[in-house]
Amino acid sequence: MSTAHGPEDRAAMRLTLHVWRQKRSSAPGALETYSLRGVSPDMSFLEMLDVLNEQLLESGREPVAFDHDCREGICGACSLVINGQAHGPERETTTCQLHMRRFHDGDVITVEPFRANAFPVLKDLVVDRSAFDRILAAGGFVSVNTGSAPEANSLPVPRPDAEKAMDAAACIGCGACVAACPNAAAMLFVAAKVSQLALLPQGAPERESRVVAMVEQMDREGFGNCSNHFECEAACPKGISVANIARMNREFLRGSARSAEPRT
Amino acid sequence: MSAASGSSALDPKIPGGPLAERWTRHKFALKLINPANRRKFHVIVVGTGLAGGSAAASLAEMGYRVTSLCIQDSPRRAHSIAAQGGINAAKNYPNDGDSVFRLFYDTIKGGDFRSRESNVYRLAEVSNHIIDQCVAQGVPFAREYGGLLANRSFGGAQVARTFYARGQTGQQLLLGAYGAMMRQQGANRLTVLPRREMMDLVVVDGVARGVVARNLVNGEFERYAGDAVLLATGGYSNVFYLSTNAKACNVNAAWRAHKRGAYFANPCFTQIHPTCIPVSGGHQSKLTLMSESLRNDGRVWVPQRAGDERAPDTIPEAERDYFLERKYPSFGNLVPRDVASRNAKEQADQGRGVGPSRMAVYLDFRDAIAREGVETIRERYGNLFQMYERITGEDPYRSPMRIYPAVHYTMGGLWVDYNLESTVPGLFVLGEANFSDHGANRLGASALMQGLADGYFVVPATIAAHLAGRKLPPVGPDHAAFREAESAARDRTRRILSIQGRRSADSIHRELGALMWNRCGMARNAAGLGEAIEKIRALRAEFWENVRVPGDEGDMNASLEHAGRVADFLEFAELLVNDALQREESCGGHFREEHQTPENEARRDDERFAFAAAYEHRGDGNPEVLHKEPLAFEAVQPSTRSYR
């Protein structure tokens, strides 16, 4: 790339931002418009918002609240619906890894929170995703107490299974799948954990009860159901496949049937 | 706050007997609490990374009542999640000569003989159990075709002992510990309180009995009383502003505990990671690390001629300097982090740096791709290459990566004894937040090992010494000590809000960071450190006169949170610099320019500095008092660390 080794003097951009502002959960919210100059193409989207916030601070207004932490695409804290897309326009990219070189001088950008009944807005662009924790608390684990584990290599795992489990385990729990889904379904998130543990021998003893408990909790939290739009996969920053949802549906059927059988 | 020397002896409570038997003997000597009595004890754990998460889950499994606080919106997002490369263990699966003793030896040597032998031996000893535990939880480690676990090598070791889950090992280990926590939460044995920031430690009759926290959603101050407090609140790299740490990482919890009596040890031992993506401009908010595992296949080089501006692919082989391979033939590109970082800086200082800023060196995969094929390299490092391309807009499959060192980890932390208990009884410190195991330099893939060792295996055993060994009269959140701590925290918060000056906390933090990086970063000298102390004091005064924090106390207010953290960094930075000033030697990550060999290697001084420096706070405005814990080496004789 020609810019890689010469001086980086690409022009700074001017942007118009429509940003969702909401004081608290119970208060009404609205889009507010800001104009921003001097945005470098090398900034991440969140660094662009940092610049906006410094500007708001200087003019005596309250900065925009948004969740973020690692800024390297792994903690799952950042969110944002950017021009209608969860995590913005770049495939398999979290908002914190989205760079402004993806945008152009003069662009108008709308920034909203992840929206779902199960993700209430706390302030501005910050939402409450604790429903995900409660779904995992219902069964997203292997019940093994510290100290009781057998020697690690006593349980071989076929490499293709381990790789598939890792594909599913890569989920960062950001909630983009929910925000992208027309039904605000959490099925991709739940399916990723169900798949990881269903694919591994370690997950086998609780295979049936796990999927049933997690799906029931998912329903209690008010998430919708899958109607095969696959917007979740398109929005997922880790490229988690909807094939996991198919696997979860099979697992759920299997689990429901097995749990209906009397235990001997 | 210049350091004075104290006389009182620190007791590290190292058990007697042969090194290899100490942990077993110690566990037997420790008091036990019977399962029915454990529920009478309430343990407060601050932080939910690998150390805090594994401790909270394990203690709850044992039957203790546990309350766990984290600053993030979910325990799963703690910064351990960002660790990429792997976790060490002495399994010796590759049959290449590894053993508990060799892992111990490498860690002691890698730490440049500034860590405590007994703790490090225990770390190596429990390392294998960690792998067993994580595999049983369903952590999808990389495997060979036969279905058994795969290993790779890492800097500072000549054996392959690193277990990994692609480039997301920290994530997978943390999700394992988080799953264990969620299981306990579901069973009502553990209460997780996210979006809480610890504001103070509460000490009653000399014993840690709880914390005051601020609820980051509604701004309310909350009191949590218990029988023991565990801090697993990570490191202080963000004192440098730009680091690879997540934005919320801070020193507050450790600093507040320090001001309540916990000694702070070796703050000047900071680690600069050699393979990070270089700074691209003044807007930069954090730096991104590229896993050290890349050095298994990537070759580090610069053009031989200073100021060579040709594109890397047009520079012929004969005009490239593979400086690590040239200077360190036996370890080559896999020298430890401190050595790799310092050498990159040396090349940049000599004008051979590359890229627009000239503050970078190449990490080149051309030869590895030619040797192994692009698919093999993609399988090993695909996600790292993708991350690099996303941030820089350049394709590392076609042109070499540009890398430069960045602050990454802090070996220093709160002083703890063999039980991981601080100088405040009942306050235990785990993981990166303590100073315990890595001496002056941490080896790659050892942070995850230490966090999980402390949380899964050490504290669940040693906490009984405190809970069963001391009289703990009932203390509730209405105790005067809680009222006092809460009121002090509120006052401080209001004072920050009331200044309404002209500068953002972020701009002050950036200024502090640049100062620390320039004067107390990869190379340090007495004049620069002295100047830094003056400037830190001035900047601290500037903060308290001129910071501007918008919004309210009783509301979600990220600016207020950040300002509180910057305020503590401004106090802590002075201690860090003072420690760097008193340690007149070069060791590990601490390089004093006055103390180097003619070949520019670090010159350690075991005669004068074979000790851990533990600082005691004696009130604001008074000098911190330095206590020295002598380090005795019985199993490994300190030698000049050579990777040539």
Residues B67 and B77: their CA atoms lie apart, in Å, by 17
Tell me the chain A residues in contact with residue B248 when contact means C-beta distances shorter than 8 Å. 69
Work out the average pLDDT over B373-384. Answer: 89
Which one of B408, B431, B457 terminates a domain? B408
Kindly report the CATH number assigned to the domain that includes residue A78.
Answer: 3.10.20.30
pLDDT of residue A9: 43
A:B CB pairs within 8 Å: 242
Do A218 and A114 share a domain, yes or no? no
Which one of B408, B436, B457 terminates a domain? B408
Residues A173 and B183: their CA atoms lie apart, in Å, by 17
Which one of B381, B408, B435 terminates a domain? B408
Shortest Cα distance from A122 to chain B (angstroms)?
7
Shortest Cα distance from B174 to chain A (angstroms)?
11
Do B448 and B460 share a domain, yes or no? yes
The residue segments making up the domain with residue A89 are 2-123
pLDDT of residue B292: 82
Do A18 and A94 share a domain, yes or no? yes
Please check whether residue A151 lies inside any domain of the structure. no
Residues present in chain B in total: 644
Residues B442 and B429: their CA atoms lie apart, in Å, by 18
Please check whether residue A150 lies inside any domain of the structure. no
Please check whether residue B641 lies inside any domain of the structure. no
A192-201, B197-206, B333-342: range with lowest mean pLDDT: B333-342
Tell whether B359 lies on the interface with A, counting CB pairs under 8 A. no
Do B531 and B479 share a domain, yes or no? yes
Residues B376 and B372: their CA atoms lie apart, in Å, by 6
With b for 16 or more beta-carbon neighbours within 10 A and e for fewer, the A40-74 pattern comes to bbbbbbbbbbbbbbebbbeeeebbbbbbbbbbbbb
pLDDT tens readout for residues B478-500: 999 999 999 999 999 999 999 99
pLDDT value at B1 more than 70: no
Tokens 């430069």 -> residue? B404
Give the count of domains, chain B.
2
pLDDT value at A10 more than 60: no
pLDDT value at B223 more than 90: yes
Backbone torsions φ then ψ of A252, nearest 5 degrees: -65, -45
* Half-sphere exposure for B266 (CA within 13 Å, toward CB): 35
Tell whether B167 lies on the interface with A, counting CB pairs under 8 A. no
Please check whether residue A86 lies inside any domain of the structure. yes
Active-site choice (B166, B337, B342, B641): B337
Mean pLDDT of all residues belonging to chain A: 94
Do A134 and A92 share a domain, yes or no? no
pLDDT value at A264 more than 80: no
pLDDT of residue A5: 35
B19 pLDDT tier (thresholds 50, 70, 90): very high
pLDDT tens readout for residues B590-642: 999 999 998 888 999 999 999 999 999 999 999 999 999 999 999 999 988 77
Do B78 and B181 share a domain, yes or no? yes
Please check whether residue A149 lies inside any domain of the structure. no
Is this prediction's pTM over 0.90?
A: yes
pLDDT value at B8 more than 70: no
Do B342 and B213 share a domain, yes or no? no
Please check whether residue A76 lies inside any domain of the structure. yes
pLDDT value at B134 more than 70: yes
Please check whether residue B340 lies inside any domain of the structure. yes
Tell whether B521 lies on the interface with A, counting CB pairs under 8 A. no
Catalytic, B502? Answer no
Kindly report the CATH number assigned to the domain that includes residue A133.
Answer: 1.10.1060.10
Do A183 and A255 share a domain, yes or no? yes
Tell me the chain B residues in contact with residue A157 when contact means C-beta distances shorter than 8 Å. 143, 147
Please check whether residue A61 lies inside any domain of the structure. yes
pLDDT tens readout for residues B546-567: 999 999 999 999 999 999 999 9
Do B9 and B139 share a domain, yes or no? yes
Do A23 and A53 share a domain, yes or no? yes
pLDDT value at A2 more than 80: no
Do A228 and A133 share a domain, yes or no? yes
Residues B17 and B24: their CA atoms lie apart, in Å, by 10
Do A109 and A20 share a domain, yes or no? yes
Do A117 and A178 share a domain, yes or no? no
Do B179 and A42 make contact, defined as CB atoms within 8 angstroms?
Answer: no
Do A97 and B172 make contact, defined as CB atoms within 8 angstroms?
Answer: no
Please check whether residue B476 lies inside any domain of the structure. yes
Please check whether residue B643 lies inside any domain of the structure. no
Do A87 and A139 share a domain, yes or no? no
Kindly report the CATH number assigned to the domain that includes residue B342.
Answer: 3.90.700.10
Tell me the chain A residues in contact with residue B393 when contact means C-beta distances shorter than 8 Å. 1, 3-4, 99, 101
The residue segments making up the domain with residue B452 are 1-269+411-605+614-636
Tell me the chain B residues in contact with residue A158 when contact means C-beta distances shorter than 8 Å. 143, 147
Do A58 and A165 share a domain, yes or no? no
pLDDT of residue A262: 65
Please check whether residue A46 lies inside any domain of the structure. yes
pLDDT value at B6 more than 80: no
Residues B77 and A175: their CA atoms lie apart, in Å, by 13
ipTM summary value = 0.95
Three-state DSSP class for B152? strand
pLDDT tens readout for residues A14-47: 999 999 999 999 999 999 999 999 999 999 999 9
Shortest Cα distance from A147 to chain B (angstroms)?
7
Give the count of domains, chain A.
2
Do A42 and A8 share a domain, yes or no? yes
Please check whether residue A79 lies inside any domain of the structure. yes
Of chain B residues 542-561, which have a CB less than 8 A from chain A?
A: 548, 550-551, 555-556, 558-559
Kindly report the CATH number assigned to the domain that includes residue B156.
Answer: 3.50.50.60
Do B10 and B143 share a domain, yes or no? yes
Among A133, A142, A145, beta carbon nearest to B61: A145
Do A186 and A249 share a domain, yes or no? yes
Among A139, A152, A165, beta carbon nearest to B140: A165
